[in-house]
Amino acid sequence: MRREATALVLVIAGFAAREAFAAKAGDVRKEAFRLLNEGVAAYNRGDYTAAIPPLQKAAATALNSFPAHYFLGLSLAGDRRYNEAIDAYTIALDLDPAHLQANVSMGDAWLAVGNVDEAAPCYVRAGKLRPEFAPALDGLARVMEARADTDQAIALYNRALASDKGFAPAYTHLGDLYLRAGKLDEAVKLLVEAVSVRPDFGPGLNRLALAYGRLGFSNEAVATIRKAIELEPKDPAHRDTLGEVLLGMGQLTGAEASFQAAIAIDPADPKGRAGLAEIARRKGDYAKALEHFDAALADPRLPRSRREQLAKLRESVVAEQAAATALEARVASGSASPEDRVSLSALEAGKGHYERAADLLSATGPKGADREKLAFYLFRAGRFRDAHGIYAELAASATPKRADLEVNDGATLARLGDDAKAKEAFERALAIDPEQPLGRVYLGNSFLRQGDTASAATAYRAYLEAHPSGSAAEQVRRVLAEIAPEAKP
């Protein structure tokens, strides 16, 4: 009898999750058609959350409808419910195995959940159906990226672009690859191309904004991502990028508002939650930071790799909280050792609290590397005169001579408005190390501020010649185009 009871419980449990219904054939057919139209319309508007319920109902009744299952998969993927999307695509592809885009979408969903081995066959199938199909090559390139085979990935992206010069995702993905590799110049070129061939391509605008942000082109970054937000207001990724750009600019309030806007769209949005956690951490509100991580981690849609990443970040916040609490207590009670103060100053600097970091470090009477660190904190805190005092002294006493100290001192002098002395410091730096990249750029800046455009242009050109793909190359090219438009940079 025990056997029978178990079976009954299982059967009943199986039904609990189902939304049972029964209806007449004619009504079911009409309703399925209406629901499919409603869902597809919502999907086309980019409103994936609204598209899912009608498409789920349509797919649950129109059992051999390819569009019902395919659009359901697309909408679920749009809503980051990748595992459910894979189930829907599986049925869609059973019904129409030769559907090119469905094969690619299935690959994309597998990639999103971090299953490269399942993703690759989907793209290969699409490539078999239509050789040199750009979305398939682009998908395979992302597979190669995930397998850390960057060369092969780049070759495949280029094949995708050779096959379809108007295929914006390949420009975007290749640009993103360069962006992550720190090759900002190449990244910007490709991303600009992506939004040129498809001006309404949100992911391209998103990555371009991020690249501009990394280059320090704040205005361009904000304008670009605002355009993406305008085009795709329901995509939290664009709000996340705006938050990231603003965070990079030190605009915590604006960044926080943008991340909040992202989680208003998707409460578990991992980037939004991570951004808010970072802001809370910088404010020293560790409990809030952990709340944000927990909200993101509670989301069953979170892919494994992203989950691991967030869990690691959460761990580091927990560790930082424990360390900060102990250090603050010792500082407050007067029992802190100099090492405690050095550690706490590093934590404060990590939150962007440079003023306090400098004070804590200063109180330890720092020597050597710690003194250099103090100069940096003072610089970041805007206390340029104090920073200059230390840099000048360190540069004068360094044996052997160090170009980087001279550059830092020059940059500090420039912030004090003493461009003549700053120029001398940069020249000393370049005498020590003629390849010093920032020395050249800053020297050019000093000339420019003093009105010596020709010397500035010479310094900039020298920089570009030595570092054509350097981190400041794009900025320098733009300045050169302004000051010496007739000459090719």
Using CB under 8 A as the binding rule, whether residue 91 contacts another protein is answered as yes
Helix axes 184-197, 168-180, angle to 10 degrees: 160
Q: Is there a contact between 202 and 233 (Cβ–Cβ < 8 Å)?
A: no
Q: Report residue 13 as tokens.
A: 């449990």
**C-alpha distances out from residue 441 to 150, 186, 271, 375, 485, Å:** 31, 20, 34, 21, 18
Residue 32 as a binder of another protein (CB under 8 A): the answer is yes
Binds another protein (CB under 8 A): choice among 35, 36, 40, 65? 65
Q: Give the number of residues written for the chain.
A: 489
179 near 211, Cβ under 8 Å? yes
| Shortest Cβ 302–another protein spacing (Å) | 23
Q: Residue 38 Cβ, how far from another protein at the closest point, in Å?
A: 17
56 interacts with another protein by CB under 8 A: no
Q: Which of 37, 44, 101, 117 binds another protein (CB under 8 A)?
A: 117
Quick check: 112 binds another protein (CB under 8 A)? no
Task: Return the SS3 of 471.
Answer: coil
Binder of another protein out of 37, 41, 44, 128 (CB under 8 A)? 128
Say whether residue 125 binds another protein (CB under 8 A). yes
Size of the site for another protein (CB under 8 A): 51
Asked if residue 369 binds another protein (CB under 8 A), the reply is no
Contact window for another protein (CB under 8 A) among 54-62, 167-175, 321-329, 466-474: 54-62
| Residue of the chain from 52, 54, 61, 436 that contacts another protein (CB under 8 A) | 61
Distance set, CA 88 to CA 42, 185, 266, 276 (Å) = 17, 40, 22, 33
Rounded CA gap, 260 and 237, in Å? 12
CB 133 within 8 A of CB 102: no
Is residue 427 involved in binding another protein (CB under 8 A)? no
Distance of closest approach, residue 28 Cβ to another protein, in angstroms: 5
Question: By CB under 8 A, which span of 60-68, 268-276, 322-330, 373-381 interacts with another protein?
Answer: 60-68
Among 2, 14, 253, 399, binds another protein (CB under 8 A): 14
Q: Tokens 């070759």 sit at which residue? A: 155
What letter represents residue 126's amino acid?
Answer: A
Residue whose token pair is 């769209």: 265
7 part of the interface to another protein, by CB under 8 A = yes
Q: Find the angle CA(146)-CA(147)-CA(151) to the nearest 5 degrees.
A: 95
Of 267, 268, 272, the closest CA to residue 256 belongs to: 272
Q: Segment contacting another protein (CB under 8 A): 144-152, 324-332, 364-372, 403-411?
A: 144-152
> Scanning residues 157 to 216, which ones bind another protein (CB under 8 A)?
159
Q: Are 387 and 366 in contact (CB under 8 A)?
A: no
Cis peptide before 54 (omega within 30 of 0): no
Residue 367 makes contact with another protein by CB under 8 A = no
Residues in the site for another protein, rule: CB under 8 A?
3-4, 7-8, 10-11, 14-15, 18-26, 28-29, 32, 60-66, 90-91, 94-97, 117-118, 120-122, 124-125, 127-128, 132, 140, 143-144, 147, 149, 152, 156, 159
